[in-house]
Amino acid sequence: MKVVISKADFDRIVAHARSCLPEEACGLVAGSEAEGVRRIEKVYLLENADHSNEHFSLPPQAQFAAIKDQRANGLRSLGNWHSHPETPSRPSEEDIRLAHDPRASYLILSLADAGNPVLKAFSIVGGVAREDELLVK
């Protein structure tokens, strides 16, 4: 799977994640999918209901509002994103355990190197994480 995100949306995710430090930041992504390419057209910046630097959960009301917005704008839910304030951008054991949607893209932003944020996309199916190609345009 190939995932495409705009530089502007990448920058919005980074800014939101930095504003949430030391906690993990999180949100949803929506857009379109065709011929094995997922195009992120809208990023939702949500509150981490857990207020933790080690895990996150999305507030249900915010998720419902995002889904309503996606439907109103003809977008498809593509997955979610969250930050790792101090660790690399790869799924933790908890991330893998909680990845219940095999169709979703799971984006992880590492802020471990403050000057060089790293965003990666993953598919997680049956407890196995596979890195997808991510293009920032």
pLDDT on residue 23 = 96
Give the pLDDT of the chain (137 residues) as one tens digit per residue.
899 999 999 999 999 999 999 999 999 999 999 999 999 999 999 999 999 998 899 999 999 999 999 999 999 999 999 999 999 999 999 999 999 999 999 999 999 998 899 999 999 999 999 999 999 99
Contacts (Cβ under 8 Å, ≥6 apart) of 73: 42
Half-sphere exposure of 5 (CA within 13 A, CB side): 29
What 3-state class would DSSP assign to 44? strand
pLDDT on residue 40 = 98
pTM above 0.75, yes or no: yes
pLDDT on residue 114 = 81
Question: Please, which residues bridge with residue 67 across strands?
Answer: none
What is the rounded CA–CA span in Å between residue 23 and residue 36? 33
